[in-house]
């Protein structure tokens, strides 16, 4: 099926790779279980390709399939209708901690050293897939892990075209908002592209072309492609589908003319690029051997107001409430997973690493321990087992880069507990979504006391 890639002129998000119960549910219709039979998987290559698409600042209120009403997200909706959506996927409140947990499968208290930094000693899922499963590997888009060529290769990637290869001091003083989109400041093969190479071009188009060429070069062997969008993070500027793009001068306009009116078009372009990637896989004849995942690194910027299920809500980036940490996660893999599945189990950023190991049939991950994630491969195949379920989600958020105290918390579907340094507050997050009324110990029911004690033990791991 060819996906619909529309140009939008009205205000619009995207990621390919989007509680106290400890069972995973597959709700296509209420009370109806969905599974993928072994016959559906017959003929599929034993080591499928993996494409992980990461959206930047795409909150839960953005995609239409999830109740968003301000934007048209045709291709995200296609993935949800023809693949799996995870309703209880949790990121960190900000991008760099999320991304570190994503690629390493470890909570930040284990390996966080600095903002936007992937330690040389840390191993990623790309190292595992490359070294133990024979995958070709590629990273295109926003890197933001520092270290440039050395770091990218040492962390398992063969090929790359990236934005933010270094943190600002080593990036010629430029931060992640400098030439992010038009005339982009990109890096490949240990050097920055020249002005002549990027003049008039749009970063996401260049990332897509690079990804497309990588796919063409690896159709007969398994590959990992991480496509880390710059969209839809600031600066909010016109895309090539906007008439303002032609005259836009990023040296001046990215600062002086940045405007939230361009945000819907940026969401549309992210969704359009997602559709191009899906179509590329289809036309390359590898759709049945490819698993595409889309996820966001965190919630939408607080300056963006969107309509969601009939209400106008602000973005919740940097918030630890539900809207600030529950983000879209989608999987599309025809012939491998059932279509139209809404999975309601708990999943977080650390879970990709063990899942990729299962997908690639890696028999041992001892070289990468400790891993904090729980595989969701059984979700994908419809073979859920009771001993592979999360009963809670944990987060350690280092905040020295914001000049604030670190935060850690544990939650399930109903309750949430913060660490003692953050008052040790305990909430019913169903009845108190915005966490305004902590429950005093004197008012805890026996079940709540038990849950709080369990959560307290988990929090002790980072103290």
Tell me the mean pLDDT in the region 184-193: 98
Per-chain mean pLDDT for the chain = 90
Tell me the mean pLDDT in the region 350-376: 95
More confident residue, 234 or 1: 234
Tell me the whole-structure pTM to 2 decimals.
0.89
pLDDT of residue 458: 95
- Is the per-residue pLDDT at 304 higher than 90? yes
Tell me the mean pLDDT in the region 334-355: 95
Task: Report how far residue 229's alpha carbon sits from residue 13's, in angstroms, rounded to the nearest whole number.
Answer: 10
Q: Which of 367, 304, 345 is nearest to 123 (CA)?
A: 367
Backbone dihedral region for residue 220 (phi beyond 0: left; psi -120 to 50: alpha; all else: beta): alpha
Under 8 Å between Cβ of 98 and 354: no
Tell me the mean pLDDT in the region 348-370: 96
Q: Return all residues near 162 (Cβ < 8 A) that are at least 6 apart.
A: 139, 140, 141, 142, 143, 152, 186, 187, 188
Q: Give per-residue pLDDT as tens, 136-178.
A: 999 999 999 999 999 999 999 999 999 999 999 899 999 999 9
pLDDT of residue 389: 82
More confident residue, 42 or 229: 229
Contacts by residues 251-255 (CB-CB < 8 Å, ≥ 24 positions apart): 254/177, 254/178, 254/179, 254/180, 254/181
Q: Which of 368, 394, 397, 392 is nearest to 460 (CA)?
A: 394
The CA–CA distances, whole Å, from 463 to 172, 194, 391, 399, 458 equal: 37, 47, 21, 15, 10
pLDDT of residue 461: 79
Tell me the mean pLDDT in the region 216-244: 97
Strand ordering across the sheet containing 415-418: 393-397, 407-411, 415-418, 426-428
pLDDT of residue 21: 35
pLDDT of residue 421: 85
Residue 228 pLDDT class (50, 70, 90 cuts): very high
Residue 384 pLDDT class (50, 70, 90 cuts): confident
Q: Which of 349, 453, 460 is nearest to 408 (CA)?
A: 460
pLDDT of residue 359: 97
* Residues written for the chain: 463
Tell me the mean pLDDT in the region 76-101: 97
Q: Return all residues near 210 (Cβ < 8 A) that are at least 6 apart.
A: 138, 140, 159, 161
Tell me the mean pLDDT in the region 105-111: 97
Under 8 Å between Cβ of 310 and 108: no
Residue 48 pLDDT class (50, 70, 90 cuts): very high
pLDDT of residue 45: 62
Q: What are phi and psi of 394, to 5 degrees?
A: -115, 145
For 361, the 3-state DSSP assignment is coil
Task: Report how far residue 186's alpha carbon sits from residue 195's, in angstroms, rounded to the nearest whole number.
Answer: 10
Instruction: Extract the runs of DSSP E, i.e. beta strands, from 174-271.
Output: 186-188, 191-192, 223-228
Q: Give per-residue pLDDT as tens, 13-42.
A: 333 333 333 334 333 332 222 233 333 333
Q: Return all residues near 116 (Cβ < 8 A) that are at least 6 apart.
A: 96, 144, 145, 146, 164, 167
Helix H or strand E segment including 82:
helix 74-82
Q: Return all residues near 173 (Cβ < 8 A) that are at least 6 apart.
A: none
Asked if CATH classification 3.40.720.10 holds for the domain at 38-384, the reply, yes or no, is yes
Q: Give per-residue pLDDT as tens, 210-224.
A: 999 999 999 999 999
Q: Which of 161, 232, 230 is nearest to 198 (CA)?
A: 161
pLDDT of residue 422: 86
Task: Report how far residue 288's alpha carbon sits from residue 286's, in angstroms, rounded to the nearest whole number.
Answer: 6
Question: Cα torsion at 395, 400, 401, 402 (round to 10°)?
Answer: 90
What are 418's strand-pairing partners?
409
pLDDT of residue 463: 64
Residue 19 burial (CB count, 10 A): 20
CB-based burial, 189-207: b 16+ in 10 Å, e otherwise? eeeebeeeebeebbbbbbb
């Amino acid at each position: 099926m060819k996906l619909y890639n529309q140009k939008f002129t009205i205000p619009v998000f995207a990621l390919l790779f989007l509680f106290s119960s400890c069972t995973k549910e597959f709700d296509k219709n209420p009370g109806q279980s969905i599974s993928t039979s072994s016959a559906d998987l017959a003929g599929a290559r034993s080591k499928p390709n993996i494409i992980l698409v990461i959206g930047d600042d795409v909150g839960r209120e953005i995609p239409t399939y999830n109740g968003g009403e301000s934007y048209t997200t045709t291709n995200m909706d296609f993935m949800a209708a023809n693949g799996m959506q995870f309703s209880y996927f949790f990121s960190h409140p900000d991008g760099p901690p999320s991304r570190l947990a994503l690629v390493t499968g470890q909570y930040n208290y284990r390996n966080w050293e600095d903002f936007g930094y992937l330690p040389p000693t840390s191993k990623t899922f790309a190292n595992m897939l490359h070294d133990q499963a024979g995958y070709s590997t590629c990273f295109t888009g926003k890197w933001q892990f520092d270290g440039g060529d050395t770091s990218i290769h040492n962390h398992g990637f063969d090929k790359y075209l990236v934005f933010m290869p270094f943190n600002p001091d080593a990036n010629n003083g430029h931060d992640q908002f400098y030439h992010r989109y038009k005339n982009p400041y990109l890096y490949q093969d240990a050097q920055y592209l020249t002005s002549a190479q990027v003049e008039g071009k749009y970063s996401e188009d260049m990332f897509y072309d690079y990804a497309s060429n990588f796919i063409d070069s690896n159709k007969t062997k398994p590959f990992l492609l991480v496509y880390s969008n710059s969209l839809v993070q600031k600066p909010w500027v016109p895309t090539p589908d906007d008439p303002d793009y032609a005259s836009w001068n990023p040296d001046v306009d990215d600062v002086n003319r940045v405007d939230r009116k361009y945000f819907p078009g940026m969401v549309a372009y992210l969704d359009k690029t997602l559709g191009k990637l899906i179509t590329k896989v289809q036309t390359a004849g590898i759709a049945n051997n490819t698993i595409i995942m889309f996820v966001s690194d965190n919630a939408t910027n607080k300056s963006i107001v969107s309509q969601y299920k009939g209400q106008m809500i602000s973005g919740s980036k940097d918030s630890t409430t539900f809207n600030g940490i529950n983000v879209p996660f989608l999987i599309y893999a025809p012939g491998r997973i059932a279509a139209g599945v809404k999975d309601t189990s708990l999943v977080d950023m650390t879970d990709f690493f063990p899942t990729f190991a299962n997908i690639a049939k890696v028999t041992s991950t001892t070289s990468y321990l400790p891993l904090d994630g729980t595989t969701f491969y059984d979700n994908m195949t419809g073979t859920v087992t009771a001993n592979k379920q999360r009963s809670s989600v944990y987060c350690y958020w280092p905040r020295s880069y914001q000049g604030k105290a670190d935060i850690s918390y544990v939650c399930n579907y109903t309750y949430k507990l913060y660490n003692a340094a953050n008052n040790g507050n305990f909430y019913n997050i169903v009845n108190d979504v915005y966490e305004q009324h902590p429950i005093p110990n004197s008012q805890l029911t026996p079940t709540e006391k038990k849950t709080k004690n369990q959560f307290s033990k988990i929090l002790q791991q980072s103290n």
